[in-house]
Chains A and B, each alone.
Chain A
């Protein structure tokens, strides 16, 4: 019994991070990298992965040291940890993924101020064990990557008629520049959020209907 319990618990933590409390769709955090780099699916994907790496690292370290850091200085300590991890990711990207670094370079240091990361350190990793914190970081990070990839894909598709650099709509597609420009990021994000809310509403309605049915069965 206990093992299945922890299993669903891990699953819950993951889906919570990936969907229900998704940094972008549910909490609208990390808007700066989100709107800044998602001009194409590829940029969005790599920015998401860089954030995921930092998030996993920071959740791991914070949950390891949570017993040792006095409450009064936990925020500065977390910030120092996160900033160092970001620098590590930045240096590694510069060294081994130089071309991507040239594109994303400006936005990598900004991961430090992505409140989604400090938020997870503070709200989750500082109160939970290492395994749970890792699962939480993976869920949150993948959720963020998914959001960036989706927004980047939509903007690239409508803005340039391409996806991952491959032509989708043919050469005659009139590029809708608006989607590549910053306002397009807000517009596309608005539509995506509307879609996410629609999915959530339908699921809620279905759950309520099921609940009502089971109640009716019990009373009947």
Chain B
């Protein structure tokens, strides 16, 4: 097939436009890569700090991946005291049954099984109704120090201990259910988690030694 002069000109112009814009994008992507990673780390750090008690380590640095059933896995962030003993864990629990889509909850749990605090990291709930789960600090703090045994894990409408919101029951119900599942997960994998922490710490110190 032979292209006319005009057609070649058109193709060439589009080629140049694409080439120039793509090179510009590659350049911008390269200079924003590091700041974006930093901003994401800062957000993660900040969120994790809020759901863990006072600690002396860097939970993000000590993070390890814990395998769940069905090939899924979860990132666990351990908090340690000065002596290097684990005092709490933070991880992300996912509530798949929000009013509109998935709600991601970052929860911190003490070694003894009490909730330290929870934060909502992402959701698509209705503004002004379901999104109270991110804004209502009284409601968020109603999770503090709750354990599997000292609490009825349901909203008040279902006979439990947690408030629902006016006009929004499904959202808090999903969050309560997810946090309870998180506590169950902790109860069942407590011993395993502890093993992992020290395995990770050992592996890290080994590589550090090796580097020296």
Contact = CB atoms under 8 A, between A and B. Distances in A.
A81 B126 CA distance: 35
Contacts of A6: none
A94 B39 contact: yes
Main secondary structure of the interface of B (DSSP, over half): helix
A219 B8 CA distance: 64
B14 A180 contact: no
Given A77-B13, A77-B17, A180 B36 contact: no
B33 to A, nearest CB: 8
B45 interface: no
Contacts of B14: 73, 76-77
B21 A91 contact: no
Interface string A83-102: 11001100110111011001
B28 A87 contact: yes
Interface residues of A, number: 29
Interface of A: 39, 65, 68-70, 72-73, 76-77, 80-81, 83-84, 87-88, 91-92, 94-96, 98-99, 102, 159-160, 175, 177, 180-181
20 contacts: A39-B127, A65-B17, A69-B13, A70-B6, A84-B22, A87-B25, A88-B24, A88-B25, A91-B28, A91-B36, A92-B32, A94-B36, A95-B35, A95-B39, A96-B39, A98-B40, A98-B43, A177-B128, A180-B127, A181-B126
